[in-house]
Amino acid sequence: MATAFGNEETVRGAGRGDAVARWIGRNPLPALVIAVAVIFALWLILAPWPAGFEDVFGKKRLFINALFNGVTLGGLYFLVATGFTLIFGLMRNVNLAHGSLYLFGGYMGYEATQWTDSWLLSYVVAFLCCAAVGAAMQFFIFRRMEGEDLRQTLVTLGLSIVFSDLMVWVWGGNAIQIDTPDYLLGPTPTPIVVAIKSSGEAVFLQYPRVRLVIFIAAVLIGIGMWLALHRTRIGVMIRAGVDDRDMLSVLGYRVQLLFILVFAFGAGLAGMAGIVGGTFQSISLGEDQHFLLASLQVVIVGGMGSIPGAALGAIIIGCAEQFGQTYFQNYATVLTFVIMVIVLAIRPQGLLGRR
Amino acid sequence: MALAETTDTSPIGALGAPRSSSALSGWLSQHAATLILGVLLLILPAVAGSFILVQVFGWAMILGIIALSLMFLGGYGGMVSLAQMTVAGVSGYMITVFGASSLPAISLFWPWWVAAPIAIAIAVAFGALTGALSARTEGIYTIMITLAIAAAFFYLTLQNWPIFNGFAGFTTIPAPIAFGINWKHPVPLYYLILFFAALSYLAVLYISRAPFGLALQGVRDNPRRMEAIGYNVTAHRIAAWAFAALIAAIGGILMVWLNNQISPGSAGIEATIDLLVIAVVGGLGHPIGAFIGAIIYVILRTFALDALVQVGLDGRRFQTLIGLTFLVIVLFSPDGVIGLWRRWSARALSPRRRDG
């Protein structure tokens, strides 16, 4: 029933390495397969490809670009999906208005950049606005229907219909692009060889700096969240609430306050992701549904209620989307769909989820 | 339900009447509302114009059929599926692919009596697969999984040109001509839709009282106990999904014939969500709820724009109106309009009962 925010068999850092060693000891063959796959993937990325290889996979530049786009898109999906999974894990509330919060954050961030000219400040604005909306939703509506998860879900659905229509009213149907700040513009050279010129000179991959920076930020947020969940008092409360929220409230903790905080935090993250999305691609009508779908897929694949699961799922779904678009355009969504089907068939609770 | 309560006492007092006729009159008075509604719908073409006939009642009944499949799964099976519109979309697309459309490059132009069964079979297989995927998880996960599947199908139809013809979809789907009747003319089309609406309604009503339906409701209420008694819970759920998919698939084909086109938006995320709105607003407690919700939705959809403008509001805020209606229903009457009606009639009846 309970869902995990990590591999709970070990909480302390020292035990974690042992657990990995034990797992390898118990499953030598899968461990070997994983190790070979990792080494092969690293070779695929770092080394220049032999001649016959490009016939199968196409140009290496294409492959590497799809990979980088996939991983950085995964970072964006992670930002959206962690809030979703956190809210679901703690409150059992499938927040179908999460995509609307993402879009709202994007629009608020856009307004903030227009007014203040500061890209970084817009994150604060988007976070606060979305957090306020999220807290209000939890405080005024969901608090009154605790435990009725179907009804809560239906309410979030109704809210998402209203929100998206109101946002069309205010911002119209045109796509809006948030400008990348000057200091993040342009490409960054990476030590990855994509091709070798006829002169024998290696060509290195150039990749947009802003995407790399945002991906690193997403990783840092993920690590920060993991630390907050495992090292702070409020994190302990959240994990306890995920496992048994009745027990937590019986022990005298203020569960309602915790719910509001988590809802606000999850919504705020979605809002910040809106700016990232507006910088990467654009924000427009319909993006709310796109990112709701992405969150659903990430959470279904990664495991419901699990933050490491959200990270894993986000990378998988992001890469699947980008590789799909690069290699078989007509059936790109089929790839993510197939991944979802396989995961559901083998592990219905998701890769890192717990029953 | 409430109607049956009021009427079921009266025929017993009819002494002296022959038994068969008392049983008949009892049956008649029990189903008076259904019969009156049925007769009204049958004679509707005599009074209504083709717009009201097809675009309002025909469209509402098609949405009702598809919402009925959602109601069946949600109400009797406890599995709220957002994939029912997608199932309808699959069968709708398949009948244009196997049947006829304006795109000879894709359509195979098989006759409708070959294409329709194939389309329905594929849609049922799709529905059963969706069911098999979500039946292994419980409760609220079903919504997530089915919404993800519905959205995946939407984006697939949007991106895929070889089979689904991308965002353009299919247009000018020729009428099926059978028994010398062109079924695309308003009146034949109306009767065709009415026939299938009545058929699926009665089928759901029948199954809900048949052993399978009762077992399904048992699975909904307590899967572990049903498992312990010896029922195969997963098999019952998947069978329910297949049956629901059959209903939705029929609705999907009718939808294509009525709209004369199908495109990604026909089974898109908005359509998917609207279908859930229809089923929930009508009420998941009784099959008629699906049709009540559908007629409310279609009337809002058709006339709200003018009504909003008349009271000085922006007509384009139609979606907000739908969303707010939905929110009000979910917040104040979770069992939908049917629940409102039941509570209202129970309150209206109770003083009279005490007097009598």
Residue A53 Cα, gap to closest chain B Cα (Å)? 28
The answer to whether B319 contacts A161, with C-beta atoms less than 8 Å apart, is yes
Q: Provide, as residue numbers in chain B, all residues whose Cβ is less than 8 Å from the Cβ of A159.
A: 323, 327
For residue B156, pLDDT over 90 is answered with no
Contact residues for A348 (Cβ-Cβ < 8 A; gap 6+): B136, B137
What single letter denotes the amino acid at residue A1? Answer: M
- Is the Cβ of B152 closer than 8 Å to some Cβ of chain A? yes
- Is the Cβ of B278 closer than 8 Å to some Cβ of chain A? no
Residues in chain B, how many?
Answer: 356
Q: Give the per-residue pLDDT at A15.
A: 54
Q: Which of A90-94, B216-220, B348-352 has maximum average pLDDT?
A: B216-220
Tokens of B263: 């495109």
The answer to whether A340 contacts B148, with C-beta atoms less than 8 Å apart, is yes
Contact residues for A243 (Cβ-Cβ < 8 A; gap 6+): A2
The answer to whether A304 contacts B316, with C-beta atoms less than 8 Å apart, is no
- Is the Cβ of A147 closer than 8 Å to some Cβ of chain B? no
Cβ-based burial of B285 (10 A; exposed 0-12, middle 13-18, buried ≥19):
middle
Q: Which stretch of DSSP H or E encloses residue A153? A: helix A149-171
pLDDT tens for each residue of chain A, 355 residues long: 444 444 444 444 445 567 777 777 777 777 888 888 888 877 777 766 666 666 666 677 778 888 888 898 999 999 999 989 888 888 888 888 999 999 999 999 998 888 887 888 888 999 999 999 999 998 988 888 877 878 888 888 889 989 988 888 888 878 888 888 777 777 777 777 766 666 767 777 778 888 888 888 889 998 998 888 888 888 888 888 877 878 888 888 888 888 899 999 999 999 999 988 888 888 888 888 888 888 888 988 988 878 888 999 999 999 998 888 888 777 777 888 888 888 888 888 888 877 5
Contact residues for A135 (Cβ-Cβ < 8 A; gap 6+): A260, A261, A263, A264, A267
Q: Provide, as residue numbers in chain A, all residues whose Cβ is less than 8 Å from the Cβ of B136.
A: 344, 348
- Helix-strand-coil percent breakdown of chain A, rounded to 5? 75, 5, 20
pLDDT band at B199 (very low <50, low <70, confident <90, very high): very high
- Is the Cβ of A54 closer than 8 Å to some Cβ of chain B? no
Q: Provide, as residue numbers in chain A, all residues whose Cβ is less than 8 Å from the Cβ of B151.
A: 289, 292-293, 296
- Is the Cβ of B167 closer than 8 Å to some Cβ of chain A? no
For residue B160, pLDDT over 60 is answered with yes
Residue A162 Cα, gap to closest chain B Cα (Å)? 5
Closest CA to B73 of B136, B125, B148, B143: B143
* CA distance to A76, A217, A271, B112, per residue, from A124 (Å): 17, 14, 9, 59
What is the rounded CA–CA span in Å between residue A333 and residue B157?
9
| 3-state secondary structure string across A227-295 | HHHHHCHHHHHHHHHHHCHHHHHHCCCCHHHHHHHHHHHHHHHHHHHHHHHHHHCCECCCHHHHHHHHH
> Nearest residue on chain B to A333, judged by CA atoms?
B156
Phi and psi of B171, rounded to 5°?
-130, 180
Using only C-alpha atoms, what is the Rg of chain A? 21
The answer to whether B147 contacts A297, with C-beta atoms less than 8 Å apart, is no
Tokens of A248: 């937590």
Q: Give the per-residue pLDDT at A128.
A: 93
Using only C-alpha atoms, what is the Rg of chain B? 22
Of the residues A3, A165, A354, the best mutation for testing chain B's interface (the one with the most B CB atoms within 10 Å of its CB) is: A165
A189 forms beta bridges with: A206
Task: List the single residue in B140, B144, B152 with the smallest CB-CB distance to A337.
Answer: B152
What is the rounded CA–CA span in Å between residue A119 and residue A113?
6
- Is the Cβ of A332 closer than 8 Å to some Cβ of chain B? yes
When pLDDT is averaged across residues B110-116 and rounded to a whole number, the result is 83
Residue A144 Cα, gap to closest chain B Cα (Å)? 10
What is the rounded CA–CA span in Å between residue A21 and residue A10?
13
- Give the position of tokens 């999984």: B145
> Nearest residue on chain B to A290, judged by CA atoms?
B151
The answer to whether B326 contacts A161, with C-beta atoms less than 8 Å apart, is yes
Task: List the single residue in B161, B269, B320 with the smallest CB-CB distance to A330.
Answer: B161
Domain layout of chain A by residue ranges: 54-346
Whether A285 and A168 have beta carbons less than 8 Å apart is answered as yes
The answer to whether A158 contacts B80, with C-beta atoms less than 8 Å apart, is no
Q: Provide, as residue numbers in chain B, all residues whose Cβ is less than 8 Å from the Cβ of A150.
A: 80, 139-140, 143
Enter the DSSP assignment of A13: H
For residues B5 and B68, the model is more confident at B68
Residues in chain A, how many?
Answer: 355
Q: Which stretch of DSSP H or E encloses residue B245? A: helix B233-259
> Nearest residue on chain A to B316, judged by CA atoms?
A169
Q: Provide, as residue numbers in chain B, all residues whose Cβ is less than 8 Å from the Cβ of A149.
A: 139-140
- Is the Cβ of B149 closer than 8 Å to some Cβ of chain A? yes
**Model pLDDT for residues B232-252, shown as the tens digit of each residue:** 888 999 999 999 999 999 999
> Nearest residue on chain A to B147, judged by CA atoms?
A293
Contact residues for B320 (Cβ-Cβ < 8 A; gap 6+): A161, A162, A165, A166, A169
> Nearest residue on chain A to B132, judged by CA atoms?
A345
- Is the Cβ of A296 closer than 8 Å to some Cβ of chain B? yes
> Nearest residue on chain A to B277, judged by CA atoms?
A158
Q: From 1.10.8, 3.40.50, 1.20.950, 1.10.3470, which CATH number describes the A54-346 domain?
A: 1.10.3470
Residue A1 Cα, gap to closest chain B Cα (Å)? 10
Q: How many CB atoms lie within 10 A of CB B311?
A: 6
Q: Provide, as residue numbers in chain B, all residues whose Cβ is less than 8 Å from the Cβ of A141.
A: 331
Of the residues B147, B167, B277, the best mutation for testing chain A's interface (the one with the most A CB atoms within 10 Å of its CB) is: B147
The answer to whether B136 contacts A344, with C-beta atoms less than 8 Å apart, is yes
Whether B85 and B271 have beta carbons less than 8 Å apart is answered as yes
For residue B347, pLDDT over 60 is answered with yes
Whether B184 and B257 have beta carbons less than 8 Å apart is answered as yes
Q: Chains A, B: CB contacts under 8 A, how many?
A: 115
DSSP of B125-145? HHHHHHHHHHTTS-TTHHHHH
Residue B319 Cα, gap to closest chain A Cα (Å)? 6
- Give the position of tokens 């938006």: B265
- Helix-strand-coil percent breakdown of chain B, rounded to 5? 75, 0, 20
Q: How many CB atoms lie within 10 A of CB A350?
A: 28
Q: b/e for A218-234, b at 16 or more Cβ within 10 A? A: beebbeebbeebeeeee
Closest CA to A295 of A284, A305, A280, A285: A305
Contact residues for B63 (Cβ-Cβ < 8 A; gap 6+): B251, B275, B278, B294, B297, B298
Q: Give the per-residue pLDDT at A59.
A: 72
Q: Provide, as residue numbers in chain B, all residues whose Cβ is less than 8 Å from the Cβ of A94.
A: 140, 143-144
For residues B290 and B105, the model is more confident at B290
- Is the Cβ of A159 closer than 8 Å to some Cβ of chain B? yes
Whether A58 and A327 have beta carbons less than 8 Å apart is answered as yes
**Model pLDDT for residues B55-84, shown as the tens digit of each residue:** 888 899 999 999 999 999 988 988 888 899
Whether B279 and B67 have beta carbons less than 8 Å apart is answered as yes
Q: Give the per-residue pLDDT at A52.
A: 66
**Model pLDDT for residues B299-316, shown as the tens digit of each residue:** 888 887 777 777 766 667
The answer to whether B151 contacts A289, with C-beta atoms less than 8 Å apart, is yes
What is the rounded CA–CA span in Å between residue A219 and residue B172?
51
Closest CA to A56 of A268, A327, A349, A340: A327
When pLDDT is averaged across residues B255-274 and rounded to a whole number, the result is 86
What is the rounded CA–CA span in Å between residue A298 and residue A89?
14
- Is the Cβ of B326 closer than 8 Å to some Cβ of chain A? yes
> Nearest residue on chain B to A157, judged by CA atoms?
B273
What single letter denotes the amino acid at residue A139? Answer: F
* CA distance to A24, A137, A268, B169, per residue, from A79 (Å): 31, 20, 10, 34
Q: Which of A41-50, B213-222, B342-351 has maximum average pLDDT?
A: B213-222
> Nearest residue on chain A to B161, judged by CA atoms?
A330
ipTM of the complex: 0.79
* Coil/strand/helix, residue A17: helix
Tokens of A193: 């060889």
For residue B86, pLDDT over 90 is answered with yes
